[in-house]
Copies of this chain bind each other. A is one copy, B any other.
Amino acid sequence: MKLNIAVLPGDGIGPEVTAQAVKVLKAIAMEFNHVFTFKTAIVGASAIEKTGVPLPEETISTCDKADAILFGAIGNPKYDDPSVDVRPEQGLLGLRKTFDLHTNIRPVIAYEDLLNKSSLKVKQIKGTNILIYRELTSGIYFGDKHYSDTEASDVCKYTRKEIERIAHQAFKAAQGRKKKLTLVDKANVLASSRLWRKVVKEIATEYPDVTLECRYIDNVAMALIINPRQFDVILTENMFGDILSEEASVIVGSIGLLASASIGDNHVMFEPIHGAYTKATNKGIANPIASILSAAMLLDHFGLYDEASLVREGVDKALKLHITTPDLNTKYDNISTTKVGDFIEDFIHNPDETNLN
């Protein structure tokens, strides 16, 4: 298969972790005789520094021409000042909006080998496997905004169509899993949530084999920790999905493990859910696994299931052998970002031989 991949490393630890994902994809291409070409483009704070804007036209055009976008991370505390008008995050939000990447998928899996790394008790999390479907191009992120020194506002708006398209995806995913869908909203307070509930309940009749439950965000923020195994597919709007998916990282043991796919009708993007962690930049301590698992989701998206499985096996093996960065490692204290990438690359070339090296 031929794939043109736009690589947007972004800021902070973005470039380091993305480099490992690219390394892994190259190894896959070599072993499976695919032709993956990579074209790098700038975004976020690094783009602001070079061009004044967080999402330059050239980056948009590179992404537009690509079959898939591999995204690193954006952000820099420099732009935290609330009076700053141009911010790195606009680069990421701009990508999502420009390419209408409406359906964001975030798997939350409790790895056997990491159970004791979580803040939660092992018996609580063992076996957890959740797929979060987060709406990514609407809601309060993209509604009208007003800002003055005396008042400010954001509008959370959803149309029926925006809800329908992601809901169908989520129901289909549930059909291939434990057949349970949890809609998370705040329908006891928000009008937009009431529309979500109405539309999702209607759509549910088309998927009679899937059990739908509708719950409030505050309740789920608690239940996700107390009993995560009760969830199969979670469907929710943009902001609630942002909060829940980052919260869910505590189940997995490190936010450095959570991958995501952002699917539009004509474009797709893959990115770790973690941020730019400016402080960790170039120290070799950034966990590349979320980025590598995002690459695996990319492979899955193009039907390259064996390839994706091999990447995931490599990740599993790295976790089992403690070839992990310090956020997860209690055994070795000097395994770097690059070393993790190298290990998984080696594994792809020699799945049967790779061992502690």
Quick check: B154 and A239 within 8 Å, CB to CB?
no
Indicate the member of A186, A191, A222, A255 with the most B CB atoms within 10 Å. A191
* Residues of A near any B CB (own CB < 8 A): 75, 80, 82-83, 87, 89, 93, 119-121, 124, 140-141, 143, 145-147, 149-160, 186-195, 197-198, 201, 214, 217-219, 221-222, 225-227, 239, 242-247, 249-250, 255, 275
Quick check: A156 and B157 within 8 Å, CB to CB?
no
User: CB < 8 Å: which of B83, B214, B243 contacts A217?
Assistant: B243
Q: Closest CB-CB distance, A245 to chain B, in whole Å? A: 8
Quick check: A154 and B243 within 8 Å, CB to CB?
no
With A120-B121, A222-B255 as known contacts, state yes or no: A158 contacts B151, CB within 8 Å.
Answer: yes
Residues of B within 8 A of A82 (CB): 187, 193-195, 197-198, 201
Nearest B-chain residue to A88, judged by Cβ:
B188
Q: How far is it, in angstroms, between the C-alpha of A226 and the C-alpha of B195 when the chains are bound?
A: 34
With A152-B194, A153-B191 as known contacts, state yes or no: A186 contacts B239, CB within 8 Å.
Answer: yes
Residues of B within 8 A of A192 (CB): 152-154
**How many protomers of this protein does the assembly include?**
2
User: CB < 8 Å: which of B119, B195, B245, B246 contacts A151?
Assistant: B195
Nearest B-chain residue to A160, judged by Cβ:
B150
The 4 A-B residue pairs with the shortest CB-CB distance, nearest first, are A152-B195, A153-B157, A82-B194, A218-B246
Residues of B within 8 A of A275 (CB): 219
Q: How far is it, in angstroms, between the C-alpha of A275 and the C-alpha of B83 when the chains are bound?
A: 39
Q: How far is it, in angstroms, between the C-alpha of A199 and the C-alpha of B348 when the chains are bound?
A: 53
Quick check: B152 and A89 within 8 Å, CB to CB?
no
Quick check: A147 and B191 within 8 Å, CB to CB?
yes
Indicate the member of A153, A194, A219 with the most B CB atoms within 10 Å. A153
Q: List 24 contacting pairs A-B, 8 Å CB cutoff, sorted by A.
A: A75-B188, A80-B187, A80-B197, A82-B187, A83-B194, A87-B188, A93-B189, A119-B225, A120-B121, A140-B156, A143-B153, A145-B190, A149-B198, A152-B192, A153-B156, A155-B156, A186-B239, A186-B242, A217-B243, A218-B247, A221-B221, A221-B246, A225-B225, A243-B243
Q: How far is it, in angstroms, between the C-alpha of A188 and the C-alpha of B153 when the chains are bound?
A: 14
Quick check: B225 and A147 within 8 Å, CB to CB?
no
Q: Closest CB-CB distance, A304 to chain B, in whole Å? A: 31
